Chain A
């Protein structure tokens, strides 16, 4: 049985751990609120981009434009949105599990290209030999701006147009609620549109496109990809903060349980010591009497 002194030491160390996790929990909670507010700002943009895509859906022969061409997949590109720091529960391992699953599913012979956002995904990909890690972005702020993702967007779209890559998958975490986050694998290029929508039929027949239809398709398609990527980034931020908050809450609760356990053991040890001493004293007194 442990001595009282080591038990006391253990209780103290767990207490300071609890302080740290509690602080991290509070930080994550306030960041979560902030990221949720920030994401709600860009909802309008995503809605409008989606609405503009109806013009495209109503066009004939959309397949002749590069953005919509479904080609046999010879070269694939993955964009993985992870976090820079750990202590966020299963946030990063869920992402990586999904990524590995996708890799196993693909039957292309070329090594896939990867753009990693966040250190965690980057570190994982660096260890895999068969992956071509193109770029790592790990300096996004808590509230990224549209300018931050532009270089990624430009590179990806350009490569897709020049036929260097045939499909772009985005792997990120979607926040369904504060306690439910889901890893999503979304194909952002080529673009697929909902064509069943009847309200959009003939929309393009009555509309003028200036300067010409090609450049408008180009412009709208670019915005669509941008809106998707942006939304995914914001969703990932929310998820990361929500998962970190939950993980830290659990850690704080566990620390409390540990402290209770140790305190109970400490008291038992102390009590048995006292009992033993008393027994010794009364034993001594008995011996003296005789």
Chain B
């Protein structure tokens, strides 16, 4: 078992012993299990998956949409510092789609570079949220 601590600026999102954590790093996805070597790496916007016990099927994975951060692995302690982590259950598909459309609209109407960057950020975020929603659908169907 490895202890996962997932922290964002709005608080502690996850703090439990787990079997496996799959992290979207800048070098691609990595899975962190028990006795992983000490590692510090950066996380990219993407989907973070947590498997509580080795027998859990994929449909019982905990899913988080994350948007960049830092990962530290040391002595079976996994600390993840992220901008924000939204649990799959807290994401509503209709709302996420609406937000995506709104963000696209914003980008179309963006006048200067700052608002363009802002809109692009919103687009990226809602894309990941949608990705999480779809992944959850896909996994629970099986």
Task: List chain A positions with a Cβ less than 8 A from chain B.
Answer: 41-42, 44-45, 48-49, 51-52, 55, 145-146, 151, 206-211, 215-216, 219-220, 223, 230
Contact = CB atoms under 8 A, between A and B. Distances in A.
Given A44-B7, A48-B5, A215-B26, 19 more contacts: A42-B11, A44-B12, A45-B7, A45-B9, A48-B79, A52-B72, A52-B79, A145-B10, A146-B9, A151-B114, A151-B118, A207-B38, A216-B41, A216-B42, A216-B70, A219-B70, A220-B70, A223-B69, A223-B70
A210 B40 CA distance: 6
B127 interface: no
B81 A146 contact: no
B4 to A, nearest CB: 13
Contacts of A209: 39-41
A290 B70 CA distance: 107
Interface string B71-90: 01010000101011000000
Contact of B10 (A146, A208, A215): A146
Interface residues of B, number: 26
A154 B30 CA distance: 28
A41 B13 CA distance: 10
B37 interface: yes
Contacts of B81: 45, 48-49, 52, 223
Q: Which 5 A-B residue pairings sit nearest by Cβ, starting from the closest? A: A41-B11, A210-B41, A207-B38, A146-B9, A219-B42
A100 B6 CA distance: 41
A42 B11 CA distance: 5
A206 B38 contact: yes
B96 to A, nearest CB: 17
A51 B5 CA distance: 13
Contacts of A51: 72, 79
A210 B38 CA distance: 11
Contact of A211 (B26, B38, B72): B26
B23 to A, nearest CB: 11
Interface in B1-19: 5, 7-12
Contacts of A215: 26, 42
B93 interface: no
B27 interface: yes
Contacts of B84: 146
B34 interface: no
Contacts of B83: 146
Nearest to B26: A211
Contacts of B40: 52, 55, 207-210, 216, 220
B99 to A, nearest CB: 13
Interface in B23-53: 25-27, 37-42
B71 to A, nearest CB: 9
Interface string B91-116: 00000000000000000000000100
Contact of B39 (A49, A52, A210, A230): A210
Contacts of A151: 114, 118
B21 to A, nearest CB: 15
B92 to A, nearest CB: 18
